[in-house]
Amino acid sequence: MIGVAVLGSTGSIGESTLDVLGRHPDKFKLVALGANRSVAKLAAQVLRWRPAYAVLADENAARELVKTLGNQAPGTRVLSGQDGLIEVATLSETDCVMAAIVGAAGLPSTLAAARAGKRLLLANKESLVMAGPLLMSAVKTSDATLLPIDSEHNAIFQCMPPQARTGEPAPGVRKILLTASGGPFRETPREALAAVTPEAACAHPNWVMGRKISVDSATLMNKGLELIEACFLFGLPPAQVEIVVHPQSIVHSMVEYLDGSVLAQLGSPDMRTPIAHALAWPERIASGVDFLDLVRAGRLDFRAPDYEKFHCLTLAQAAARTGGLQPATLNAANEVAVQAFLDRQLNFIGIPTVIEAVITKSTGGKIGGLDDVLAADAEARRLARDAVSASAAGTRPVYSGVVRDAHA
């Protein structure tokens, strides 16, 4: 039996993971559930799954969880805070960690799992974006197994040669083609974006996702973060990662080889496919996903992204090339800006404006250790909050255009 800890269990990735685990009770044992502050959802999961551990990052929420459970789950120990998440990620009985906590909050437990040599199923892209060199070094040093969960990176992994190792360039690979659905506004005129609502931004045409990642998909920042992630996962420079808009979300990504071959992974747009692949790798297990009917799908379309319309993508590509602490700065500024948009404190086109203002003012530099990453994250959040406040007061930072052509 493989012991699994699901961190981020109350989100869409976590719920899909539990669905796959439930289909294979003979192969997997759920050791721990972890979330941020979703007391009611985590309590329901605890009563359904009866794990040995349940963790809430928010300590007040953890106390509320204890009260909610009462004596209904005597076999479950409730932990709290980052220390609790780290503890369950490194338990001897935990063989596999699903790292699906959204945002920078998922970094410490993800790093801990890597350092402990676990099979790390990485759905928390921010860990690589913020601290890619640290995470990949930890994986290599501990001989951990890192398997990507993002549908695109999992597709790329499946298209790589069998001998390929995460973090190292595979022989014969010319480039990666990272597909993007284009989000809900791919056909929306650029001049109409200022008026879009959070509800419209969260209504993804193909995928069911949380609010933050849905907005990232709408701005194409999600694809920019995935580009940074892909560079670390597959040992390639940004110039060898091409982004292609594919509205049907059937081709999840492709790998082009030096001989002209292009290998693609296709499937229905359902996260249970990459989750099942990573849980059982190198074996294959049923995921519960509907099988792909290409005749019914009818057509597959591809086109280049509109960098002028989706400036977040340009900012992310520039951060990927600069490296060091700039990806961490980009990620933190984006998290603050997206939350401000969801809270209706910032309009949609204000998101890239805030991010660029933060990048322009940030200290930057190289990554010496985790403290450097956390300091850059804190600085970027402070600068982003100032930029949001300035925008709300009608003194929005002027777009500098310093990275307008960064994708070229």
Coil, strand, or helix at residue 342? Answer: helix
Average pLDDT, the chain: 92
CA distances from 191 to 29, 131, 308, 309, 310 (A): 51, 36, 11, 9, 12
pTM of the model: 0.89
Which domains can be identified in the chain, with CATH numbers? 2-148 (3.40.50.720), 166-269 (no CATH), 323-392 (1.10.1740.10)
Dist CA 52 CA 70 (whole Å): 15
Count, in order, helices (H) and strands (E) of the chain: 16, 11
pLDDT at 204: 72
Residue 72, pLDDT score: 95
Rounded to an integer, what distance in angstroms lies between the CA atom of residue 216 and that of residue 231? Answer: 19
Per-residue confidence (pLDDT) for residue 397, from 0 to 100: 42
Burial of 380 (0-12, 13-18, 19+ CB in 10 A): buried
User: What is the DSSP pairing of strand 262-266 with strand 28-35?
Assistant: unpaired
Q: Parallel, antiparallel, or unpaired: how do β-strands 77-80 and 96-99 relate?
A: unpaired
Q: Report helix angle 81-89 to 59-69, nearest 10.
A: 70
What pLDDT shows up at residue 104?
78
Side chain identity at residue 290, one-letter code? D
pLDDT tens-digit series, residues 261-316:
999 999 999 999 999 999 999 999 999 999 999 999 889 999 999 999 999 999 99
